[in-house]
Amino acid sequence: MKPNIKNIAVLTSGGDAPGMNAGIRAVIRTGIFHGRNMFGVQQGYRGLIENNIIPMNARSVSNILHMGGTILKTARCLEFKTDEGMETAYRNLQANDIDALVVIGGDGTFTGAKRFSEKFDVKVIGIPGTIDNDLYGSDFTLGYDTAINTVIEAIDKIRDTADSHDRLFFIEVMGRDSGCIALRSGIASGAEAILLPEKFTSVEDLISKLECGASTKKSSSIVIVAEGHKHGGAYEIAKQVEERFDHYDTKVTILGHLQRGGSPSSFDRILGSRLGFAAVNALLNGETRQMVGLRGNEVKLTSLDEALNTHTFKLEDDLLEMASVLSI
């Protein structure tokens, strides 16, 4: 039987990602279309604990599609990991007569949602929102496409100055456990080398590649470093290379949180809209503890347990090979 859901709340948690606002907008308006009362939880799980829950209508989400970040704000909340914190959050949901939650975030967000739902039998659906693109069950996560475009734009500008001065630039991008941003932005920007957490590249191999480029009169070189590379960040690797290869003037750029900001791409706006729409429909159809994700070009459900515990996600083999072949 379909649940009698009358009041639905949406929250964003963990790191912000472009496209979250599109997801919020779709959740609120889809719920209102189906005659439900809609609420927004400000500052993620902290807002649940502090009862920072506000009613929202269709006009509450006007003119937010183009905005980066999240209008509901986000925050880390260690208290939500405790039984006491979850108990307080649940009492606040009851006080507001909220029947179900849509949570937008990454693995930490989904871990909390799964435990909360199991403990108090709260209906919950997750939307994957993280620029790292590292959740099983969705080919793309909210913010990933925009982050890549931001990185590419930055690298293109750095390439201009690198060519002008015969420089070697090490550019560090986000990706503690995932090389998705590094790999695709590296290919799209013509990087000479890409260092990934998933693929071991020795400093010796990197130097050999740079020497090969220098011997064929490359005027500059760009090396993309995912922050989770086993040899350390861009500064550490650049130092090791500079000590043994001085053909270029070596510089380092850390892109950091620049990658999380900015107006979402059309892809992320549409993805957020599709997943927000699907999340509410899933709740109304009786689903819970599921993540809505894009696989192929279809929105499909993956259990939160499977999304969190399936570690078969890997970088595309053809992209890995292509990155090496096209950088000669």
Q: Give the pLDDT confidence score for residue 248 in this predicted structure.
A: 78
Q: Give the pLDDT confidence score for residue 1 in this predicted structure.
A: 61
Q: Which helix (H) or strand (E) holds 62?
A: none
Copy the structure tokens of residue 197: 């957490």
Closest among 297, 22, 308, 19 to 137, alpha carbons compared: 308
Domain boundaries, the chain: 7-143+264-309, 145-260
The CATH number of 7-143+264-309 is: 3.40.50.450
What string of DSSP letters covers 17-40?
Answer: -TTHHHHHHHHHHHHHHTT-EEEE
Give the three-class secondary structure for 56. strand
Instruction: Give yes or no for a contact between 55 and 307, defined as CB atoms under 8 angstroms apart.
Output: no
Residues with catalytic function: 132
Per-residue model confidence as pLDDT tens for the chain (328 residues): 677 899 999 999 999 999 999 999 999 999 999 999 999 999 999 999 999 999 999 999 999 999 999 999 999 899 999 999 999 999 999 999 999 999 999 999 999 999 999 999 999 999 999 999 989 999 999 999 999 999 999 999 999 988 888 888 999 999 888 899 999 999 999 999 999 988 888 889 898 888 888 888 776 789 999 998 888 889 999 999 988 887 778 999 999 999 999 999 999 999 999 999 999 999 999 999 999 999 999 999 999 999 998 865 678 889 989 988 988 7
7-143+264-309 and 145-260: identical CATH topology:
yes
Q: What is the pTM of this model?
A: 0.94
Q: Give the pLDDT confidence score for residue 165 in this predicted structure.
A: 83
Measured CA distances, 211 to 129, 190, 234, 249, 257 (Å): 40, 17, 19, 14, 32
CATH 3.40.50.300 given to domain 145-260: no
